[in-house]
Each structure stands twice: as C-alpha cells, then as structure tokens.
Amino acid sequence: MDNAQLLISGLANGCVYGLIALGFVLIYKATEAVNFAQGDFMMLGAFVTIGLTNTEYMGLPFWLALPISLGIMGALGYLVDRLIIRRLFGESQTAVVILTIALGFVIRFAAGLIWGHEPQTLQNPLAGKDIRFGGLVLGMEDVAVIVVTVLLTWGLYVFFSKTKLGLAMQGASQNQLAAYYMGIPVKRVQGFIWALAGVVAGIAGILFAAKGSVDPTTGLLGIKAFAAAVIGGFGSLPGALAGGLIVGVIEPFASRYIAAGYSQIAPYALLLAVLIFRPHGLFSQVRVKKV
C-alpha cells in the first residue's frame, strides 16, 4: 500500500518531468537544438499564472487566467524563436546550447524581480481535494497532472505521426533544405514549434504550481527533465514521457530504500549509464550519419 502511494506520487512528479522533456523533444525534433531554458519556461509559466490568479496579484478567475497565461507562454516561445534563435540558423548546436542557458539566467532574474524569491503556490479549484481509493489517498492535483500529461502526450503524438501538417513538420526538421524545396515554410514551422513548446511549458508550470510551490530557481528542475529526455531517446515524444516517469518513480523509491546521500544520485547515475551504454536512449535504434 505504501509502495503504491510512493508510485503514485512518483508518477505525478514524473509527469512534470515528462512535460518539460516533451518541450525539449519538440524543439529538438524541429530544429535540432536543445532549449536548456525549457525548465525556466516552465517556472515562468507557473509565475505568469500565479500572477493572473492569486488574490494578492490580479485575482482573475482560474479558468479565465488559464487560457491567457498559455497564450502568453505561446507568444513568448514564438518571440524567442523569432528574435533570437532564428538568427542562429546554421550555427553550431553548442551556440544554441549556450544561448538558451543564458536565456535561462535572464528569465530567472526577471522572474525574481517581478514575483520575488519566496516560494509561492497557485490558488486553484483543485487545491486540497482528494480522492480515496481503498486505502489510497490521491491528491486531486496529482490525478489532474497524470491525466493532463497523458492526454497531451497522446495528442501531440497523434499530431506528429498521423496528421499531414505534423508529418510535414517532421520533414522540415529532418532535412531543412529538402523541405524548403518541397514548399514547406521551414521558418514558420520552427516558430510554431517554439510557440508550442512555450504552451507545453506553461501547462507543466501550472500543474507544478498547483501541486507544490515554485520559486525562480524551480527551473533548475530542467536538469532532471534532461535525464528524462535522454533516457527516453531525444527524438521521441512518448519516449520523453516514459523517461520522465522513470525518473519520477525512481526518486521516491531511491530515497526510501537507498541510503541517504546515495539516493539523490540515482537519476543522474541512470542518465550516465544510459548515455554510456545506449547513447540514443532506451527506446531507439542507432543509425549512422550520411556523408
């Protein structure tokens, strides 16, 4: 019973990691760049929503604030691409890595200026409610996190692998020049993907802030989400979710059953092991580069 409780809370955490990882993967698939600021995007999404809903700030009704903040996050993602990333077309991956890390610094700084450095929680309609299930007590927030994440991942997966538009976008990422010749508006696709990643980060942020508290350094959670994305194999959306769940579940179990001091190492040790033995993730086949 105890283990089941651990499992559920691990899954809920894992979903948040999975959502951030989803953002990484979206952008990686489309632009072959990694957005190291994705975790900070999430933190920002949380704060934007807090700023709109919480009574000490604007105090809008939750269900009104929700679409507004997702819209803001989408616009932000689009602007980041439009104003910054797009200029790096053709530069090395390293340049983008460093740039997005720097962007993370700036976002953290800005969030601290606007909302302060105290941990805050999102006031939301689900707060404090729970579901009892035999002996199990499930927080409504946890349930919401799991449901929303699964639906979102499924939706994105269907979009990218089944719809015409989604497939065209995949094409754009795999070979930009060829896609360009085929009439796919490569740049617009890229902007759309960044906007989408912003929205996903916003959703992750809202769920996270509903479950626990956020402060400007919360975005550093992104490192764990990286582990998730890598474990899942950087190119696959369901893989990202699976990776997130693995990391999320390992954490509570490790801290329960492994000596303190060693337990927090678990996700990173797993990450290193995966990188060493299966550099392209647990769920992918290795292929060679074409010269």
Partner 1 sequence: MRIVFKTNYMQDLRPWKDGYQLGLYLILLAVAAAAPWWLDDFYLGELTNVLIWAIAGLGLMILTGHTGQASLGHAAFLAVGCYANVVMIEAGVPFLVAFPVAGLLTGIVGATVAIPALRLHGIYLAIFTLALSVLMDDIIVLAEPITGGVAGKYLGGVEIFGHLVDRWATPSQFFWLVLAVAIIVTLGYINLLRSSLGRSFIAVRDSEVSAQAMGVDIARTKTISFALSCAVTGLAGALMGLFAGAFNNETFSVVISIQLLMMIVIGGLGSIHGAFLGAIVIGFLPQFLSISKEYAAALLGGNAVAIPGLEFGIFGMILIAFILFEPMGLYGRWLKIRTWFELFPFYRKDMFKRQKSYLKTERLR
Q: Footprint of partner 1 on this chain (CB under 8 A)?
A: 28, 31-32, 34, 84, 87-95, 97-99, 101-106, 108-110, 112-113, 117, 174-177, 180, 216, 223, 226-227, 230, 234-235, 261-262, 264-265, 268-269, 271-272, 275-276, 279-280, 286-291
Residue 286 binding ligand ATP, by CB under 6 A: no
Cα 155 to its chain centre, rounded Å, is 15
Q: Residue 136 binds what, of ligand ATP, partner 1, none (CB under 5 to 8 Å, by partner type)? A: none
290 binds ligand ATP, rule: CB under 6 A: yes
Q: How many CB atoms lie within 10 A of CB 213?
A: 14
As a whole number of Å, the CA-based R_g of the chain is 19
The least distance separating ligand ATP from the CB of residue 284, rounded to whole angstroms, comes to 16
Is 291 exposed, middle or buried (CB count within 10 Å of its CB: 0-12, 13-18, 19+)?
exposed
Shortest CB 27 distance to ligand ATP, Å:
25
Cα 220 to Cα 208: distance, rounded to the nearest angstrom: 13
How is residue 162 written in tokens?
């089944």
The CB-of-271 to partner 1 minimum distance in angstroms stands at: 5
List binders of ligand ATP among 146-185 (CB under 6 A). none
Q: Is 288 in the site for ligand ATP (CB under 6 A)?
A: yes
Is the CB of 89 or the CB of 257 nearer to partner 1? 89
Strands annotated E in the chain: 130-133, 136-139
Tell me how long the chain is: 291
